[in-house]
């Protein structure tokens, strides 16, 4: 039977919980015109439905995300928080897989139960804009400003600390080492120490897993932390970081225009194209000490 998770402790992973994050495959490898058959590993991608319910309510499906199995409870809790469906750890009663016999349990439906009544329509009202829905950028920025508090001043980072973030995050990407096919999100302190790292086929899922971890362990807001993400920096990542109170977001690749606009309006620092001793500061340069 699925296990209920009480707070404040972060939920444990039930025995045999997820499918492995990487799966073996056989491939035909071509090297210099020569072919051979060999073993390889692929990052697993599977759907997960996130449901929510208040006291006496039947669970209502809020989202289906394609994710890499593992840290599913953190992902569900983080999604609920960054999308404005819950505002604090105190609202969350339990996080668990759906109640079905063990032989039928696929662990692809996670239910977040709340201590208060849940409004299934709040997600559509809070964040109607996505990258594909056609709603204008200004509408999405206005929604985020209403939902987020301005971040705390946060830390001032030494230039050398910023430059070391990608390599320190890369050293913790265990599943990427095996598959080469996952995004990562790392949480750092102002001295550049890696505090937590999550990997997923979706960079937004990796961020939600980190935020969910912080929510369930009572660490929000993350006002003295730095977020580092692999790949590009989208508006969605900035929105999720803002909801978690993160003042600084760094990325290996480029930010989008809407991501930078959101960061500037919210008073966040965005660093992009962070590779070696080269990077661009797109907003909030006062948090980066270039002379240190």
Q: Catalytic residue numbers?
A: 133
Rg of the Cα trace of the chain? 20
Whose tokens are 């969605």? That residue is: 236
Q: Is 211 exposed, middle or buried (0-12, 13-18, 19+ CB in 10 A)?
A: buried
Convert 164-180 to b/e letters by CB count within 10 Å (16 or more is b). bbbebbbeebebbebbe
Instruction: Report the distance separating Cα 95 and Cα 72, nearest Å.
Output: 9
- Class of residue 190 by CB neighbours under 10 A (exposed 0-12, middle 13-18, buried 19+): middle
Place of tokens 């309510």: 57
Beta bridge partners of 186: 197, 228
Would the CA dihedral through 201, 123, 75, 257 be positive or negative? Answer: positive
In angstroms, how far is CA 125 from the centroid of its own chain?
A: 21
Cis peptide before 8 (omega within 30 of 0): yes
Residue 267 gets which letter from DSSP? T
């Amino acid at each position: 039977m699925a296990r209920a998770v009480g707070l404040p402790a972060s939920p444990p992973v039930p025995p045999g919980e997820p499918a492995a994050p990487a799966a073996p495959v056989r491939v035909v490898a071509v090297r210099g015109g020569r072919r051979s058959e060999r073993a390889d590993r692929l990052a697993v991608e599977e759907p997960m439905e996130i449901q929510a319910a208040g006291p006496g309510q039947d669970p209502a499906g809020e989202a289906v995300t394609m994710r890499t199995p593992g840290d599913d409870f953190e992902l569900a809790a983080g999604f609920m928080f960054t999308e404005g469906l819950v505002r604090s750890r105190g609202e969350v009663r339990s996080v668990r897989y759906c109640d079905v016999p063990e032989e039928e349990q696929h662990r692809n439906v996670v239910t977040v139960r709340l201590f208060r009544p849940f409004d299934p329509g709040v997600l559509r009202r809070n964040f109607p804009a996505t990258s594909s829905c056609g709603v204008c950028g200004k509408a999405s920025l206005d929604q985020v400003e209403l939902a987020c508090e301005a971040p705390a001043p946060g830390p001032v980072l030494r230039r050398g600390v910023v430059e070391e973030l990608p390599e320190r995050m890369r050293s913790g990407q265990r599943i990427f080492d095996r598959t080469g096919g996952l995004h990562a999100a790392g949480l750092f302190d102002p001295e550049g120490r890696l505090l937590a790292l999550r990997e997923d086929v979706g960079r937004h899922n990796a961020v939600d897993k980190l935020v969910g971890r912080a929510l369930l362990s009572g660490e929000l807001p993350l006002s003295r932390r730095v977020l580092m993400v692999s790949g590009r920096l989208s508006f969605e990542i900035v929105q999720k970081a803002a909801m978690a109170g993160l003042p600084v977001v760094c990325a290996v690749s480029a930010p989008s225009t809407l991501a930078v606009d959101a960061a500037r309006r919210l008073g966040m620092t965005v660093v992009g194209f962070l590779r070696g001793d080269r990077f661009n500061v797109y907003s909030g340069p006062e948090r980066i000490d270039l002379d240190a």
